[in-house]
Amino acid sequence: MKKKIITAGMILTSLTSFGQWTYKVIDSDFDGKFKKAYTAITNRGWLMMEKSSTAEATPFLALAGSYFCDETTFVDVVFVVGGVKHQYSLYALKATDSRMYYFSDEIWTDEFTAHFKAASKCLIRVNQEHCTDDYYTLNMSGSSAAYNFIVK
């Protein structure tokens, strides 16, 4: 009986931790202390948020992947909220190491923020001209808490 309870607990823990947002304060010798939030890696990709360097209280959002080809592109993002899909097309700028796309702080409209925080799932398509498109599916559990952690 005890083994069954422990096994069930381990399964539940692994299910609740997979794909959820994680957030914490990073203490870097180079950059000092800063807040960071990120999803688990799914299909080689994940979302990451940090406090924006601007005076506004919006997060800095980026998509990490295995390798991106185009310097700039549009990334299609679908937030699934209560079974309803809400689609956005976000302009993205590639990082110098080609492993991340950065999004402008201007994405954080009231509507986008509400959908981001309430979504259960996020579907992402990276549209590329010089490589094949990349697709990611992310579990958005904990996105509201992660967002609030970053902006406060």
94-151 confidence digits (pLDDT tens): 999 999 999 998 999 999 999 999 999 999 999 999 899 999 999 999 999 999 999 9
Give the HSE-up count for residue 110: Cα atoms under 13 Å, Cβ half-sphere: 0
26-66 confidence digits (pLDDT tens): 999 998 888 999 998 777 889 999 987 665 678 999 999 88
Higher pLDDT, 8 or 106: 106
* Residue-level pLDDT at 35: 92
* Cα 73 to Cα 84: distance, rounded to the nearest angstrom: 26
State the DSSP string of 66-85. Answer: S----SEEEEEEEEEETTEE
Domains, the chain, in order of start with CATH, read 21-151 (2.60.40.1880)
* Cα 35 to Cα 16: distance, rounded to the nearest angstrom: 22
Nearest CA-CA partner of 147 in 60, 75, 79, 64: 60
Q: Which residues contact 8 (CB under 8 A, 6 or more apart)?
A: none
Contact 46, 64 (CB under 8 A): yes
72-93 confidence digits (pLDDT tens): 999 999 999 999 999 999 999 9
* Residue-level pLDDT at 54: 62
